[in-house]
Structure 1
Amino acid sequence: MPSNPAVEITGLVKRYDGREIVRSLDLTAHHGQVTAVLGPNGAGKTTTIECCEGLRLPDGGSVRVLGLDPVTDSAALRPRVGVMLQDGGLPTSVRALEMLRHVATMYAEPWDVDDLVERLGLASFARTTVRRLSGGQRQRLALAAALVGRPELVFLDEPSAGMDPQSRHAVWELVRALREQGVSIVLTTHLMDEAEELADRVVVVDHGQVIAEGTPAELVSGSTGALTFAAAAGIETLSLASALGAGVRETTPGSYSVSGAVTPATLVSLTRWCADRSILLSRVSTGRRTLEDVFLDLTGRSLR
């Protein structure tokens, strides 16, 4: 395993029309891992990845991909790096399979095209021109084109966007297989379940900077659970909070939310407190915070 990271970004700055889109961003993606980069629209994540792909010139900082500069060393990186763009970037007038076979001829030891066709279910539209493909079909073809050269590192921008559940899970299985083979993968996604399922590490970007990073488990570990219940309106929340050792608030009349660490003992204390006062619990639900909960807490819930 190489000593340097697969991707190492230090102090990256990118401006458009004098406005900083990426501001002194630091990001590391390790070899043989899936690194998911999350962020709201306009957060700077796509610009950051495009700097890694050599598609944009940084205005400051350092970007190293497999230890090389993605701009000045682009010729050396091209056979080692696969890129799947969000808009596909595919020629529209050729047939799907013809295009894939043509791309395969550009590499010394390409992936067997027939195997990729089977893995990604391309046979059903192999003779269809790219312009006539659905969004999900184009995504699968673009992924195949990014992988056909057997790259060491793959950048995947929204890899399962527009796909039906069957196609999405086929893509996930392929990503897992690539990781097992030691391929490094950097993906951007708006699908929190995709990041939780696939990522070894998650990096959250907002306003051009990394605001959180860690494994999915680390990012959701700030809360052991969540507890909501329904009972009579206007119960003694302060008394109940003291019994639970956690905060309690009435969200709507007769519906309550418990904040703080939620454990099995919390549930026992709740039912005992209500039973002592002849209060009937009509609904109790528990559950852990998800990566989507964490993402919304970090980046806000307002539309952009």
Structure 2
Amino acid sequence: MNEDNSLVIDARDVQRTYGAGGRNEYRAVRGVTLQVHRGEVFALLGTNGAGKTSIVELLEGLAPADGGTVRVLGYDPFRERTRVRPLTGVMLQTGGFPADLTVAEVARFWARCARPGRTVSEVLSLVGLQSRLSVPVKQLSGGEHRRLDLALAVMGRPEVLFLDEPTTGMDPEGRRDTWEIVQQLRQEGTTVLLTTHYLEEAEGIADRVAILQGGVVVAEGTTADVIADHPSRVSFELPPGCSEALPAMPGVTRREVLGRTIVLHTQYLQPVLTTLLVWANEHEVVLQGLDARSATLEDAFLAMTPIGQSRSAKVGS
């Protein structure tokens, strides 16, 4: 068992290779270390192929690590699966329910497989499917499928909940409902590890995030930690025929000129914005479309991934 009882997920220098020794050998996970504490919501972020699903499968005990150590609740989730599995809930990217069974029938069947926890009525009410009990699975929408996946994942009141792209296919209302459920589970002491492509989702509900790229962690911490080194932006359009030169603005690290639109990148948003507005007022210049914003998790994410780096190269060329 872990000496630190608050440490629920403890993965150290984890590695996973597909086709080891063969011509098509692929190292999907290259020495990842992650530690998640009890009651924490932790988000794994990354582009397709970054290694998110490979790591989650190791934590779920679906495969052994090729190197390093993995512990969930103090146990090896692969070799001690019978100890770990009853204490975890898993929501995969896609579920495989018999199409002709009703929602209620699927939930009742799953309740017999899970450890005692929530009732069928309770979990279906929790995810908003109480009015769909008699509907066959094949008639559910994509978002309703995900709600049913979530209901089954929390049936046994798991201590650790793995959510792989939980809101894919959901409408905005379904996504908000899922976020509220995750927050409720955290308040009850459940530890949640999720993967998502919705960065605002991670920014809104995760206590900490880790960004993966090429099978390694390139950034980890709170959202504030991750975005701290990324600049804020001020953008505006100068009016046609404006001949006034912009003032010197110390702290601007990059200036983009896109036609009449100017984008300033800076770590010092307020002083730069103040200087700009004072200049505009003194010269009676109207800054059309003025927009000032701090860096977001999306900005940090794009800066660390090939897609964002490619965009930056094009702008700078």
Per the normalisation by structure 2, the TM-score is: 0.87
- Displacement of 1:264: 3.0
Note if contact 2:44-2:52 (Cα within 8 Å) is conserved in structure 1. Answer: yes
Task: Tell me how far apart the structure 1 counterparts of residues 254 and 50 of structure 2 sit (CA, whole Å).
Answer: 34
RMSD (CA atoms):
2.2
Aligned residues: 301
Note if contact 2:232-2:268 (Cα within 8 Å) is conserved in structure 1. Answer: yes
- Per-residue Cα deviation, 1:167-209 (whole angstroms, up to 9, x for no partner): 1111111110100011100000001111011100101111011
Q: Within 5 Å, which residues of 2 pair with 1:9-48?
A: 9-17=11-19, 18-48=25-55
Note if contact 1:4-1:67 (Cα within 8 Å) is conserved in structure 2. Answer: no
Note if contact 1:243-1:273 (Cα within 8 Å) is conserved in structure 2. Answer: no
1:266 aligns with 2:268: no
Which of 289, 294, 297 is equivalent to 2:295? 289
Query: 3-state DSSP class of the match of 1:88?
Result: coil
Per the normalisation by structure 1, the TM-score is: 0.91
1:125 aligns with 2:102: no
- Per-residue Cα deviation, 1:70-110 (whole angstroms, up to 9, x for no partner): 11111111210111111123333422111111211234422
- Displacement of 1:278: 5.1
Distance 1:96 1:280, change over 3 A: closer
Query: 3-state DSSP class of the match of 1:301?
Result: helix
Task: Tell me how far apart the structure 2 counterparts of residues 45 and 282 of structure 1 sit (CA, whole Å).
Answer: 42
Flag structure 1 segments of 5+ consecutive residues without an equivalent: none
Task: Tell me how far apart the structure 2 counterparts of residues 195 and 230 of structure 1 sit (CA, whole Å).
Answer: 32
- Per-residue Cα deviation, 1:12-33 (whole angstroms, up to 9, x for no partner): 1111122111111111111110
Q: Within 5 Å, which residues of 2 pair with 1:29-108?
A: 29-108=36-115
- For 2:17, the aligned partner's letter is R
Note if contact 1:32-1:185 (Cα within 8 Å) is conserved in structure 2. Answer: yes
1:254 aligns with 2:256: no
Distance 1:247 1:42, change over 3 A: closer
- Displacement of 1:122: 1.0
For 1:145, the equivalent position in structure 2 comes to 152
Task: Tell me how far apart the structure 2 counterparts of residues 98 and 214 of structure 1 sit (CA, whole Å).
Answer: 42
Task: Tell me how far apart the structure 2 counterparts of residues 129 and 243 of structure 1 sit (CA, whole Å).
Answer: 63
Q: Within 5 Å, which residues of 2 pair with 1:140-179?
A: 140-179=147-186
Distance 1:177 1:2, change over 3 A: farther
Distance 1:130 1:270, change over 3 A: same
- Per-residue Cα deviation, 1:122-175 (whole angstroms, up to 9, x for no partner): 123322222332211111111111100111001010111101111111111111
Flag structure 2 segments of 5+ consecutive residues without an equivalent: 20-24, 311-317
- Per-residue Cα deviation, 1:46-88 (whole angstroms, up to 9, x for no partner): 0110011111222221111111011111111121011111112
Task: Tell me how far apart the structure 2 counterparts of residues 212 and 76 of structure 1 sit (CA, whole Å).
Answer: 32
Distance 1:281 1:78, change over 3 A: closer
Note if contact 1:234-1:253 (Cα within 8 Å) is conserved in structure 2. Answer: no
Note if contact 1:4-1:66 (Cα within 8 Å) is conserved in structure 2. Answer: no
Distance 1:45 1:67, change over 3 A: same
Query: 3-state DSSP class of the match of 2:167?
Result: coil
Distance 1:134 1:68, change over 3 A: same
- Percent identity (aligned): 37
